[in-house]
Amino acid sequence: MQMGRVHQKLVGPHPDWSCQLAFGHEQLADVTLWLALNRDGLVVFLHPLTGDELRDHTDHAIWMGAVRPLDLSALTG
């Protein structure tokens, strides 16, 4: 797993500050379980990078905690 950027502002469709974690599909089950057990009240939003950003952020997304509204305008234009 690789730690990416930490965004201390709104970026793209994301409604809150965020940080990026990158991992391969073979790690999805383990990472998802770890996040579910250790998120300690944080909202977690997971999505793949398939090249279809709209579907990645909607149909393919996984939320843990409160589902937050996304600003999809940048992805649908």
Residue type, 53: E
Q: What is the DSSP letter of 26?
A: G
**Total of domains in the chain:** 1
What CA–CA distances, in Å, run from 33 to 3, 24, 39?
18, 15, 10
pLDDT digits (tens, 9 = 90+) for 56-75: 999 999 999 999 999 999 89
Domain that holds residue 49: 2-76
Q: What CATH number has the domain bearing residue 21? A: 3.30.70.1240
pLDDT digits (tens, 9 = 90+) for 23-37: 999 999 999 999 999
> pTM for the full model?
0.86
Residue written as token pair 């843990």: 64
**Cβ–Cβ under 8 Å, residues 15 and 69:** yes
**Cβ–Cβ under 8 Å, residues 12 and 23:** no
